[in-house]
Amino acid sequence: MSVDRPGTAAHPLRVVIVGAGPTGFYAADQLLRQEGLIVEIDMFDRVPTPFGLVRYGVAPDHQKIKAVTVAFDKIASHPRFRFYGSVELGKHLSVDDLRAHYHQIFYATGAQSDRRMGIPGEDLKGSHPATEFVAWYNGHPDYQDLQFDLSAERVAVVGVGNVAIDVARILSRTPEELAKTDISDQAFEALRRSAVKEVYLLGRRGPAQAAFTNPELKELGELAGADVVVDPREVELDPLSRAALAKAPDRATSKKTEMLQAYANGVVSGKPRTLVIRFLVSPLEVIGNAAGEVTAMKLVRNELYQTPTGTLQPRATEQVETLPVGLVFRSVGYRGVPLPGVPFNDKWAVILNEKGRVLDPVSKQPAVGEYTGGWIKRGPSGVIGTNKPDAAETVTCMLEDLAQHAILHPPAPGAAAADALVRSRQPQCLSYDDWRQLDRQEIERGRAQGRPRVKFTRLDEILGALRAGNR
């Protein structure tokens, strides 16, 4: 009867996942674990290697967080899972190509861009998105030609989320500390010669509202070559924050403010660098010289006010100051970018969706067979693991729709046809076995230097390593 419902050995459900980051792997795992359902998964990524931000976002000195790839590697070992690296939607394959070969499409491309501060001088020489710096020091192949002038002695990092903390911490690490990480060789060399002496983290709200988490804050106090400096006046809780904490006590927030107060009262031990955490300041302008290079930032002091929901938001006062800096990194949030042929919700910078079902922009009804998960579904929030329940919500929708026969009906639903198409469009695509070989070589190179791995950072380098390995 139900010959046309795929999911059997003779007629597997064919799913394509666009994006090989955590969400893609969690979704693949959840689909492959369904009892009584035979699913075949093809996963594409526009970069040659899998794991998305775990490889290119998570800081190189946070190897424990990167250990999640062990779980992803197990998922990739499933016989009905295939990975294709260096394959980009809109360049090598179109959404129509996917519709012709798969029953269900899952977009998990993350947030590839960053939010702007929206102030004058933002694009001066020496003012960068933190995300580009992160991709550069992590060896992302698309960012290796960027230049960061680390001859500046003072650097501002705008934002107090975990990305901002990562950037400030990497800038403050000693060469000895960095030498134990898998930071790219190019970034290691540049940071080894860095003249940076003072790093300023700038938060627009108070300590109780800062987005960074306590382990990250604690880690700053353990840096070998940098003292943490906090102005006692800026970490004293304002009456509104104190009242909010009294009304809804929260251990993590109390602990965070305690730690900050301890930094404020601590003795500066005279380490070569200082990392200054500022609160209640917003950048008004990046100031440059005649050559268009950053020389300072104009900051305004904020006060907090309470919105009707009880949120404490910042409001500018009249108090303005100038902070001389030669380098600025903005870290005020990631932002999703539209995929060619996929409906986008500009307001939230996500794929237009309801619980992960992609919606048709005109009818606002689900677009049959198209789904999304992760940051391109909900915006950039949470830790790596947050994408697991997020992916599960979408997979539940996929299974419900399959049960209702609301799937695509591809004319060429065979694994061989899809493979042939991908290889014809991108002959240089990488398989998961290719990745395993690269992984072995990177770890091997690292072993000699006492590092977790030494990354291949450019496409020609990666292809060369594979050719050498296959010889």
Partner 1 sequence: MTIATILARKGVKVVTIRPEQTLREALALLAQHSIGAVLVCDAAGALVGILSERDIVREAVRNELFFERPVSTIMTKDVITGQPNDDLNAAAVTMTNKRFRHLPVLDAGKIVGVISLGDIAKAQRDEYLGEIDTLQTQLLGERAS
Give the CA-trace dihedral at 462, 469, 44, 419, to 10 degrees. Answer: 130
Among 124, 350, 408, 422, binds partner 1 (CB under 8 A): 350
User: Which among 28-36, 256-264, 289-297, 389-397 is the span making contact with partner 1, rule CB under 8 A?
Assistant: 389-397
Shortest spacing between CB 134 and partner 1, in angstroms: 18
C-alpha 223: how far from its chain's center?
Answer: 24
φ/ψ (deg, to 5) at 371: -140, 165
Q: Please report, as residue ranges, which positions from 50 to 79 form the binding site for partner 1 (by CB under 8 A).
A: 64-65, 67-68, 70-71
Size of the site for partner 1 (CB under 8 A): 43
Q: Please report, as residue ranges, which positions from 292 to 331 form the binding site for partner 1 (by CB under 8 A).
A: 307-313
Binding mask 163-202 for partner 1 (x = CB under 8 A): ----------------------------------------
Nearer to partner 1, 201 or 210 (CB): 210
Measured CA distances, 396 to 40, 388, 407 (Å): 17, 12, 14
Q: Using the rule CB under 8 A, is 363 a contact of partner 1?
A: no
Nearer to partner 1, 265 or 311 (CB): 311
Shortest spacing between CB 222 and partner 1, in angstroms: 17
Q: Using the rule CB under 8 A, is 389 a contact of partner 1?
A: yes
Q: Are 124 and 116 in contact (CB under 8 A)?
A: no
Shortest spacing between CB 294 and partner 1, in angstroms: 27
Q: Are 208 and 237 in contact (CB under 8 A)?
A: yes
Among 385, 414, 464, 469, binds partner 1 (CB under 8 A): 385
Nearer to partner 1, 62 or 458 (CB): 62
Nearest-angstrom CA–CA distance, 101 and 409: 9
Among 220, 226, 296, 384, binds partner 1 (CB under 8 A): 384
Q: Using the rule CB under 8 A, is 381 a contact of partner 1?
A: yes
Q: Are 106 and 17 in contact (CB under 8 A)?
A: yes
Binding mask 236-265 for partner 1 (x = CB under 8 A): --------x--xx-x---------------
Q: Using the rule CB under 8 A, is 209 a contact of partner 1?
A: yes
Shortest spacing between CB 393 and partner 1, in angstroms: 8
- Burial environment of residue 183 by CB neighbours within 10 A (0 to 12, 13 to 18, 19 or more): buried
SS3 300: strand
**Cα–Cα nearest to 470, from 447, 426, 438, 445:** 438
Can you list the pairs that 88-93 forms with residues at least 24 positions away whose Cβ atoms lie under 8 Å? 88/44, 88/46, 89/18, 89/44, 89/46, 89/339, 89/340, 89/341, 90/339, 90/340, 90/341, 91/46, 92/422, 92/425, 92/426, 92/429, 93/44, 93/421, 93/422, 93/425
Whose structure tokens read 């940076």? 196
Q: Which residues contact 57 (CB under 8 A, 6 or more apart)?
A: 134, 135, 138, 163
Among 11, 301, 388, 458, binds partner 1 (CB under 8 A): 388
Task: Report the interface residues with partner 1, using CB under 8 A.
Answer: 64-65, 67-68, 70-71, 209, 244, 247-248, 250, 307-313, 345, 347-348, 350, 352-356, 359, 364, 377-379, 381-390, 393
